[in-house]
Structures are given as structure tokens and as C-alpha cells.
Amino acid sequence: MKLHRTTLAVASATLAAGISMAAWAEYEQLVEMGYPAPEEGELVHVPPTMADLEEADINPELKKVIRRGYDLFTNTQQLRGENVFNDMNCSSCHLGEGRQPFSAPVWPAAVTLPDFRGKNQHVNNLEERIAGCFAYSMNGTPPEYGSDDMLALSAYHQWLATGAPMYPDQPIYGRGFPPPERPETLSYENGEALYMEQCSVCHSEDGSGLYVDGEYVFPAPWGDGSNNWGAGIVRTHTAAGFIKNNMPLGQPLSLSDQQAWDIAYYMTQQERPQDPRYTESVDQVLEQFGPTFHKHSSYGQVREQDDHRLADHANWGEKGDIVPWNVGVPRFEDLED
């Protein structure tokens, strides 16, 4: 316990200006649960909660818009059939309302963008980043830039970043879904057995999630209700990082690294709607994105168990022939070096 306190004191001394000791104390529970303590020089930010919003000294109209953003973030299904064509909410993957460290907290997007993004090879701002989630993770098409819904969502992101420095030059504590070390071998069979044992009680044996009278309870890890082949979490290491740090719900870090990777390996070798960057064939997608994004996924690979070539289909899921308007749109092509 004494050592623990010392560590905290050292950490807090090296935190960015504006991060108080009191704020860091909020994360003590996480460290007790086995998450790493912040390393020297890391940016630790504790986003405000919706209770803090009520107390905040900001324009009441802004509060309303942030509340709307929170509502969209945690119940994105209200955009079903318009912008969302699967069974997911933003908060299905970004746990704890987008605030949670090691669960891809969303506030870093508000302080690190605009920036160059490898996935689409140009500079993206916060809205374009959120639009990407709609095209891939929600298997849909985004609300227009500048629209009420887009503004509300970005306002919620920015509100969560309240007090964090813009363009921080330090690494961010708890950013993304940090993957555990990749084991030497991955086992589909072991992943399947573990999935049935540890995951299917909530996510169903067929990966369709759990819905009560059509209302969302647990998200679908694969199939038409899930993210499409272009979403970040189809990459095995991202799925492993999500699982290790967040699953089973309420018991993060309870699976071994091998178990988390095996489940991720199994999960990411199931079918899901086509990558919206697909225009003619799996080989075309692989030619364009095989060396980069899909280097980390099982896209276009032949599943050993049944010789099924993954993603070799033109199934777009519920969105049918709707094409997300933000995919494959280059920007800033005429800028001089």
C-alpha cells in the first residue's frame, strides 16, 4: 500500500499541468483492478461526467446540445435506418460512455485532431473521424458535417476533453484498446471453445448479441448486426485489446493474454457485412488495403476450418445499396508541399 501511494505521488508530479492529484485518484480503482498505473510523462485526463455537466458554468443551450450528444452516443440506435444499419451503439465498444481508459476513450480525438490519418490518407478533423465510425463500425452512412446530430456528437467529445491540453506532446494514458503481447500461436478451436464458455451467455452462440423485444442489450460480435469488414475492431490485435481490457463485462483483465487473443482470432474470422471500400472484388480491396489496414485483419483469407474465403461476398447487411458518402473521398489534393 505504501509503495502504491509513492507511485501515485511520482505519477502525479509528472502529469500535465492542470491535472490535479484529486482527479487522478478517480483512477485508483483501475490500478487496484490490475490496469497499469500511469507511467512517467503520460497525460492522464479524467473526463467530466454527465453529473459534472449539470454543475458546469456553461451556456444552458450548450448543455442541451452536449446532453443530446451523450444521448446519441449511448443510444445510437435512435438513428437506425437513417445513419445506423446494424445493432450497435457508440458505447457498445467505447465503454463507460466514452470516458473509460483502455476502452478507447473518445476525448483524445478532440485534442489530437485535425491530424493526418493513415486509414484515409488525409488530414481529418473530429467530425470526419466520427463519420468514419458511422461508415464502418455502425455499417451505415454518417450524419452530414455540421448537422445537428454531428455537432451534438462532437460537442460531447469536446466536453469530455475539458481541461486536457490541445495537441499534447505526451503519450495518453489508457488510449485505444492496447493489445496484450501477441502469443506465438493462435488457436481458432480454443477461441471458439472459450467464446462458447465465456462470451455466448451474453453475445449468443451465433454471435448475434442479445435483444429484448427488439431493444439492445448486448451487441453482436459478428454477422449483419455487427460492424462491417472495414471497422478497426476487425483487426485481430484491436479485438484482442478490447477483449483483454474490457470483457467479460465487469471483469476486465480476467482472461489470459492467450485467451483474449484466441477469442479475438475466432471472432475476427466470422462473417460480417462487406467493407464499404469494396468496389468490385475482395482482391481489389486487398490490393488497395492489404498491405496496410487489412494486414492486421483476416479479410480475404481462407478460413482453415471450412475453406471459406472470408469477406468474399457482396452482402452489405441491412444498409443494402446505400453507399456511405464519406468513403473514398480524397481531400487537399491541390495543396503545395
C-alpha to C-alpha distance for 142 and 150, rounded to whole angstroms: 8
In angstroms, give the least distance from the CB of 157 to another protein: 17
Binding mask 208-237 for another protein (x = CB under 8 A): --x-xx-xxx--------------------
> For residues 3 and 249, which CB has a smaller minimum distance to another protein in the complex?
249
Q: Which stretch binds another protein (CB under 8 A): 143-151, 199-207, 220-228, 326-334?
A: 199-207
C-alpha to C-alpha distance for 132 and 280, rounded to whole angstroms: 21
Cβ neighbors of 16 (< 8 A, separation 6 or more) are: 43, 44, 45, 164, 165, 168, 170
> For residues 74 and 268, which CB has a smaller minimum distance to another protein in the complex?
74
> For residues 213 and 321, which CB has a smaller minimum distance to another protein in the complex?
213
In angstroms, give the least distance from the CB of 196 to another protein: 7
Distances (CA, A) of 309 to 77, 167, 320: 31, 42, 21
> For residues 175 and 294, which CB has a smaller minimum distance to another protein in the complex?
175
> For residues 33 and 302, which CB has a smaller minimum distance to another protein in the complex?
33
In angstroms, give the least distance from the CB of 251 to another protein: 5
Q: Which three cell numbers stand for residue 188?
A: 481458432
Q: Which three cell numbers stand for residue 5?
A: 501511494
**Cβ-count burial of 71 within 10 angstroms (0-12 exposed, 13-18 middle, 19+ buried)?**
middle
Among the listed residues 126, 87, 297, 64, the one whose alpha carbon sits nearest the alpha carbon of residue 209: 87
In angstroms, give the least distance from the CB of 32 to another protein: 9
Q: Which stretch binds another protein (CB under 8 A): 121-129, 148-156, 193-201, 235-243?
A: 193-201
> For residues 58 and 196, which CB has a smaller minimum distance to another protein in the complex?
196
Let me know: does 240 contact 180? Beta carbons within 8 Å.
yes
Q: Which three cell numbers stand for residue 46?
A: 479524467
Q: Which stretch binds another protein (CB under 8 A): 123-131, 205-213, 288-296, 302-310?
A: 205-213
Select from 139, 141, 154, 198 the one that contacts another protein (CB under 8 A). 198
In angstroms, give the least distance from the CB of 177 to another protein: 16
Q: Does 334 bind another protein (CB under 8 A)?
A: no
Q: Where are the alpha helices (DSSP H) in the chain?
A: 2-13, 21-25, 28-32, 50-55, 60-74, 90-93, 107-112, 126-135, 148-160, 188-194, 200-203, 236-246, 257-267, 282-289
For residues 131, 276, 178, 75, the Cα torsion angle rounded to the nearest 10 degrees is 50
Looking at residues 76 to 135 of the shown chain, list those that interact with another protein (rule: CB under 8 A): 95-97, 99-100
Select from 187, 190, 200, 288 the one that contacts another protein (CB under 8 A). 200
> For residues 173 and 293, which CB has a smaller minimum distance to another protein in the complex?
173
Q: DSSP class of residue 197?
A: I
C-alpha to C-alpha distance for 164 and 146, rounded to whole angstroms: 24
Looking at residues 236 to 295 of the shown chain, list those that interact with another protein (rule: CB under 8 A): 248-252
DSSP, residue by residue, 18-36:
T--HHHHHTTHHHHHTTPP
Binding mask 15-54 for another protein (x = CB under 8 A): -----------xx-xx--x------------x---xx---
In angstroms, give the least distance from the CB of 276 to another protein: 29
Neighbours of 35 (CB within 10 A): 18
Q: Which residues bind another protein (CB under 8 A)?
A: 26-27, 29-30, 33, 46, 50-51, 95-97, 99-100, 196-198, 200-202, 205, 210, 212-213, 215-217, 248-252
